[in-house]
Chain A
């Protein structure tokens, strides 16, 4: 509760300081790393980049709604440097070093791939540079190690799978046959393992009839769809994203996969603007957090949707939300530190100190840096069911799940928590 008070106070203090030093203040340089090329660019990388551009400009113009109405970071204009996340971890590590050493940025925000996050975290410690992961899902980052300079403002993938299982239990309480189709790489494996564990804990009577793991970017799912259909599954879980998910929808829909069984697409929201009514009614979709159609009707969300649609004439998807959230998180931490520093420009350690256990408002509602010694955010999340209304695919029957219900408590590993606590 006390924290809740501090933030606005801090911000108002900062506002005064800001107006004072706004003129000669040096810019705060952020390296933004998302996929600008390759398969993840379309569904994730580009929306995230758009979000970053939008927020940075709005903040520099002081055009954001409260509590972020102050210009830039405590008066310092924000400057963005964009780097492509494509090319593998080795390349990302050297690019990160370039950002810090040659571009000398004040902070790095980014990373969609969990592999990149795992690789970057220790480098961030070595280089002692504030680094904020905005999207990658693997819980391993703060559960296998603890970092001082690394923060993650997005929730872990575990949350998506657990919430998905809870939603299934609510809408299909009597389902007994569960199947999965996930990409054959870490994201797919982790998502399925969490979901399997969660669903078994929540609905002990279910049996897993088949678990398909096609190659990433395989594109052709004819055989998999047949296997799912013949398995007689009542619920099909899929963490497919991007082109693979779209292909699955396009190939599965005409074959009755979506009518014979309830298909749960944990990242389905990213495809909604593109596929629209091609996503069959009854499909369960998530947004990896309270984003897009699941976002609360707060000022920040309204601002994001409006300005995003105005500029890119398409609805913002969750990567844009998560990127916005990350940058606002830094702003909140920065200005809190600035206030604590008597309005003077805070140093990195002060920013980090105020970032830990911070609680700030984002387009998806309140974000609490509750886990990983105050470095890992927890949020609530939501799932809903697709419905077609006059030529538009909309989300109905939405259920919200508060953060503490879908995230493990501090110090407990996600996989252990899923297996034990959900029972």
Chain B
């Protein structure tokens, strides 16, 4: 069997990122942001490989951010790791409960139900004046073991944390896909009957994957919240989830690194599109999406693979 080069490549990427972040300070924010969203898209990639498209990952993205946010805002917790863990747990728990329901659905119904659920959270948050309604609220600057991660002079520490987190998640996902459970993803997408006739429960497997995706979205949301310093219910609105799906398609499911690359390109494109044509950047995004669906069904990553091949 072929030697697995992905882990070494990922670690090399990590080193490269840390150096880049050191020499290009003004890109740290965008980079951190891209990783935060990339984590969410990584979860979406897991679902996509299982043949499921969630139009409601915003639910967990937002939930994670609010879990971290409330902890930071009302209990004054600023330790990034603690906040991220709590966010992951909160989102995971919610996904575990809602998954009982969602694991039974496929295709359009899975997408629509997940969308409806995220819109319900949106409605609840808009209602809750204590959490600032649609204005949301600010997060205190994150720290790690008492050391500040963000200051006027440098956001490098937070960037480092994000990079480590992102690469760790990518590695974990990479290995997960090589476990028997992970291998079920393409199997379920291709043929659920056969999976059942091999003695595995499709529903249980889907449930687990949904929870993993939820946890990743929760952590991603919390990381984004820390980076931006502000969170609001918009994170649960269906267009946010649509954006994640967009990025997932853009990236393609070819590699666990694709979501991060995709998110970064997306943020980059959007920034410049906004700068140069504020009135037609959606038009640009839509066109790009169509082109990719038509010409690169496997996403941008397929370009990278062609290069390798």
A residues adjacent to B (C-beta < 8 A): 36-37, 82-84, 86-91, 93-95, 97-98, 101-102, 114-115, 118-119, 121-123, 126-128, 138, 140, 145, 184-187, 189, 193, 216
Chain A residues with CB under 8 A of B137: 118
Instruction: Check if B229 sits within 8 Å of A186, measured CB to CB.
Output: no
Is the pair A118, B279 in contact by a Cβ cutoff of 8 Å? no
Q: Is the CB of A83 within 8 A of B152?
A: no
| A18 CA / B137 CA spacing, docked (Å) | 43
Contact, CB under 8 Å: B138 / A119: yes
Supposing A93-B228, A94-B267 touch, asked if A185 and B134 sit within 8 A by C-beta, the answer is yes
In contact, A93 and B230 (Cβ under 8 angstroms)? yes
Check B278–A118 contact: CB distance below 8 A.
no
The answer to whether the Cβ of B190 comes within 8 Å of any Cβ in the partner chain is: no
The 8 Å CB contact of A115, one of B26, B135, B270, is B135
User: What 0/1 pattern do residues 1 to 38 of B give for CB contact below 8 A with A?
Assistant: 00000000000000000000000001001100100000
Q: Tell whether, in the assembled complex, residue A123 and residue B229 are in contact, meaning their CB atoms are under 8 Å apart.
A: yes
User: Are B234 and A88 within 8 A (Cβ)?
Assistant: yes
Q: Which of A82, A87, A121, A138 has the most CB of B within 10 A?
A: A87
Chain B residues within 8 Å of chain A by Cβ, number: 32
Contacts of A88 in B (CB 8 A): 232, 234, 240
B225 to chain A, nearest CB (A): 9
Given contacts A88-B234, A94-B271, contact A118 B138 (CB under 8 A): yes
| Interface-centre pick from B231, B267, B274 (highest chain A CB count, 10 A) | B274
In the complex, the answer to whether B271 meets A95 with C-beta atoms within 8 Å is yes
Known: A185-B134, A186-B132, A189-B129. 14 other contacts (CB 8 A): A84-B274, A89-B230, A93-B229, A98-B275, A114-B135, A115-B136, A118-B136, A118-B138, A119-B138, A122-B229, A122-B230, A128-B152, A138-B135, A185-B133
- Complex Cα–Cα for A88 and B278 (A): 14
Q: Does B161 contact A (CB under 8 A)?
A: no
The reply to whether the CB of B224 lies closer than 8 angstroms to some CB of chain A is yes
Interface residues as binary, B265-298 with A (CB distance below 8 Å gives 1, 0 otherwise): 0010011001100110000000000000000000
CB pair B126–A90 under 8 Å, yes or no, is no
Q: B98 near A: Cβ within 8 Å?
A: no
- Give the most central of A93, A102, A115, A118: most B CB within 10 Å: A115
Q: Which residue of B lies closest to A138 (CB)?
A: B135
Q: What would 26 A/B residue contacts be, using CB atoms closer than 8 Å?
A: A37-B278, A82-B278, A84-B279, A86-B278, A88-B232, A89-B231, A89-B234, A90-B224, A90-B228, A91-B270, A91-B274, A93-B230, A95-B271, A114-B135, A118-B136, A118-B138, A119-B138, A121-B138, A122-B230, A126-B152, A128-B152, A140-B135, A184-B126, A186-B133, A186-B135, A193-B129
Task: Determine whether B150 belongs to the interface, using a CB cutoff of 8 Å to chain A.
Answer: yes
Residues of A within 8 A of B275 (CB): 83, 98
Q: Given contacts A83-B278, A126-B150, are A94 and B30 in contact (CB under 8 A)?
A: yes
Q: Closest A-chain residue to B37, C-beta based?
A: A90
Report which residue of A90, A127, A185 has the largest number of chain B beta carbons within 10 angstroms of its beta carbon.
A90
CA distance A293 to B26 in the complex (A): 45
Which 4 pairs, one residue from A and one from B, show the smallest C-beta to C-beta distance? A119-B230, A84-B278, A185-B134, A186-B135
Residues from chain A with Cβ under 8 Å of B152 in the complex: 126-128
**Bound CA–CA A187/B279 (angstroms):** 25
Chain A residues, Cβ within 8 Å of B240 = 88
Give A115 to B136 CA distance when docked, in angstroms: 7
Known interface pairs A118-B230, A119-B230, A185-B133. Does A97 touch B224 (Cβ–Cβ under 8 Å)?
A: no
**Nearest Cβ on chain A to B74's Cβ, whole angstroms:** 13
Nearest-CB residue, chain A, relative to B132: A186
Nearest A residue to B134, CB-CB: A185
Rounded to whole angstroms, the CA-CA distance of A83 and B270 in the bound complex is: 13
Instruction: Provide the residues of chain A in CB contact with B136, threshold 8 Å.
Output: 89, 115, 118-119
Contact B232–A101 (Cβ < 8 Å) = no
Interface-central residue, B26, B29, B229, by most chain A CB under 10 Å: B229
A128 contacts across to B, CB distance below 8 A: 152
- In the bound assembly, the distance between CA atoms of A37 and B278 in angstroms comes to 8
Chain B residue contacts of A36, Cβ below 8 A? 278-279
C-alpha spacing A371/B298, complex, angstroms: 57
Residues of B within 8 A of A189 (CB): 129, 133
Cα-based distance from A399 to B206 in the complex (angstroms): 65
Assembly CA distance A121 to B126 (angstroms): 22
Are A94 and B33 also in contact (CB < 8 A) when A122-B138, A185-B126 are?
yes
Q: How far is the CA of A95 from the CA of B30 in the complex (A)?
A: 10
Whole-angstrom CA separation of A90 from B220 in the bound complex: 13
Q: For the complex, give the distance between the alpha carbons of A164 and B136 in Å.
A: 26
| Partner pick for B271 among A98, A118, A121, A126, CB 8 A cutoff | A98
Among A87, A118, A185, A216, the residue within 8 A (CB) of B274 is A87
Whole-angstrom CA separation of A8 from B135 in the bound complex = 39
**Chain A nearest CB: distance from B72 CB in Å?**
13
Contacts of A119 in B (CB 8 A): 136, 138, 228-230, 232
Return chain A residues, CB-CB under 8 Å to B127: 184
Residues of B within 8 A of A82 (CB): 278
A residues in contact with B278, CB < 8 Å: 36-37, 82-84, 86
Interface centre among A84, A88, A114, A184 (most CB of B within 10 A): A88
For chain B, residues 108 to 164, give those with C-beta under 8 angstroms from any C-beta of chain A.
126-127, 129, 132-138, 150-152
CB nearest neighbor in A for B278 = A84
Give bound CA distance, A122 to B230, whole Å.
9
Q: Which of chain A's residues have a CB closer than 8 A to the CB of B133? A: 185-186, 189
- Using Cβ atoms and an 8 Å threshold, which residues of chain B touch A118? 132, 135-138, 230
